[in-house]
A = this chain, B = another copy of it.
Amino acid sequence: MTATAHSTSDRGPGEQPSLTLTAQDSLGISARTQLRPIHEISAAMGLAEDLIEPYGRGVAKVDLAAIGRLADCPAGKYILVTAITPTPLGEGKTTTAVGLGQGLQKSGRRATIAVRQPSLGPTLGIKGGGTGGGWSQVVPMERLNLHLTGDLHAVTAAHNQLAAMVDNHLHRGSPSGLHPERVTWRRVMDVNDRSLRQIVTGMGPAGGGAASNGPLQQSGFDITAASEVMATLSLARSLEELRDRLGRIVVGTTGDGEPVTAEDIKAAGAMTVLLREALQPNLLQTVEHTPALVHCGPFGNIATGNSSVVADLIGVRTADYLITEAGFAADMGAERFFNIKCRVSGLSPDAAVVVATVRALKVHSGRHRVVAGRPLPEEMLKESPEEVREGAENLRAQLGIIRRHGVTPVVAINAFPTDFASEHEVIAQVAAEEGARCAVSTHFADGGAGALELADAVAEAAEEPEAFRLLYRDEESLVEKIETIATEVYGADGVDLSPRAAKDLTAYTEAGYGRLPVCVAKTHLSLSADPKLVGAPRGWRLPVREVRLSAGAGFVYPICGTIQTMPGLGANPAAENIDIDAEGQVIGLF
């Protein structure tokens, strides 16, 4: 278990394993990958040809009829990939999910991967794509990171069609009684554009005539991933259920506070039609030809941060192992995976991989600070097993969250070239102290061959007796659910509701939304609600400012702290370096 030992991988001739493989190489690796025909990939999954519809080179849509057609196939083991609290750089969760799938496949097991579709805005902004990287990525990456099959655009269209119909409804005298100052439905676009966060619409000629513009309103845009339509799409199990859920979306209230829904605005049917293809998961492959279902990408703070229920329902019947990934750390994505996504799907996870990196654990020691877009501080690159041990409190807490849901955790050390063996040893010791399996994985540089140890650890863990349990019952009150998550997941001493939050919770309960699960919107950079508190903060209370409703997706989300739902662009947006070369190939995308 050292940071410099790399197993060989089946990379193409002339490709050398490289410890200094950078993110920029990922596009090159993707471009050089010889894609297998998508029908070969789907056939290996046991999907009949009529369930697969190609959408451009190396990409296909999977018909939802697959859920019924595969019902008699044995279910594979259902493996979640989650993480410790990340730095702003991310700790390679998607890359690990892809590498693990490849590792399982390389070790002779059948695996399918389910990941989220990256959002276009951040890809062109600062973050780069979200398809894994290096020798553990889903391809073709330039399609995946741009439009793919247009699902995000369909979400944008459905969301904004509802917005247009809401304003037209007001323009026509508001027959439903929707109050102009109580509209909560905003608009969305898949772009990083801070100018659109807060806008005023309906400027210019007023009144009800044909030449007049719409009602003067305060409004604004969120990024498409933050749309309630996206969250709704990711949780629907069928087109009919999607239709019902969309109809339940609340766009605002009457003067008396009665909810007005998309059904009342007569928009739900058209929205469903706009989302008909978007509800079908996209099938791609990894650079080692492991099947990868890429579908939906709801925000990880105000929504679940999980890929779709339908992708998992299909994927789990197509392999010995379905590897599915949840956004941010276990307190965020995994908690919603367990208590929202699994509650809807009825699936029970068999193991959960917790991705840990040396750099993030050093940050959790409280001695360093990492800023996105800047190089790591020099002193973080020095050998320091002590700092890793100090920061491991966060790892212990995240493992505890997995255990609390009755699931067996496995620690995956996502190895970096700058790591030291002594630092990996500490992580392994901590895992052992917590009773968890642990493996170093070099999948970024080595592909599946670098994840063989991890694959074995996961396979063992998945054989342990299943004891999955939800953290709370539907019948518990919304307040009780929030308190349970705050204390048992985040380690808070309790919850402080603002008067507004308390009023919101009463109103939702009275309106019949009290049985919904809860999706706490807080920072992903801390187990607490304060992004500056690293490690495993104790002696704090969760402050809830207000509570919002996502009736279509089917959860309420308490707002704790400042949540930005429309990113801005940096001083040097990634888009400035993206271009085509003389052969028309994409450059600068990573």
Contact = CB atoms under 8 A, between A and B. Distances in A.
A571 B172 contact: yes
Interface in A164-194: 164-165, 167-168, 171-172, 189-194
Contacts of A203: 197-200, 218, 220
Contacts of A220: 203
- From A55, A189, A240, A270, residue with most partner B Cβ within 10 Å: A270
Contacts of A576: 165, 266-267, 269-270
Nearest to A147: B150
Interface in A265-309: 266-270, 272-274, 276-277
Contact of A195 (B164, B270, B276, B569): B164
A243 B580 contact: yes
A351 to B, nearest CB: 35
Given A124-B161, A164-B193, A204-B197, A578 B210 contact: no
Contacts of A192: 164
Contacts of A157: 120, 147, 153, 190-191
A227 to B, nearest CB: 14
A60 to B, nearest CB: 9
A201 B191 contact: no
A273 B568 contact: no
A270 B578 contact: yes
A417 interface: no
Contact of A165 (B190, B276, B573, B579): B573
A163 B143 CA distance: 23
A568 B272 contact: no
A539 interface: no
What's the interface size class on A, roughly? 35 or more
B201 A217 contact: no
Interface string A48-73: 00000111110001000000000000
A194 B172 contact: no
Nearest to A61: B56
B213 A269 contact: no
Interface of A: 53-57, 61, 120, 124, 142-143, 146-147, 149-150, 153-154, 156-157, 160-161, 163-165, 167-168, 171-172, 189-204, 210, 212-215, 217-220, 239-240, 243, 266-270, 272-274, 276-277, 568-569, 571, 573, 575-580, 582, 584, 586, 588-589
A168 B569 contact: yes
B167 A277 contact: no
Contact of A569 (B153, B164, B201, B568): B164
A213 B191 contact: no
18 contacts: A120-B157, A146-B273, A164-B569, A165-B569, A165-B576, A167-B195, A168-B193, A193-B214, A194-B214, A195-B217, A196-B214, A198-B213, A199-B203, A269-B575, A269-B579, A270-B575, A273-B578, A276-B586
Contacts of A217: 195
Nearest to A152: B153
A302 to B, nearest CB: 18
A320 to B, nearest CB: 30
B200 A199 contact: yes
Nearest to A162: B575
Given A203-B199, A578-B270, A194 B213 contact: yes
In the A-B complex, the 8 residue pairs with the closest CB atoms: A195-B214, A269-B579, A153-B153, A150-B150, A270-B575, A164-B193, A198-B203, A198-B204
- From A157, A194, A239, A582, residue with most partner B Cβ within 10 Å: A194
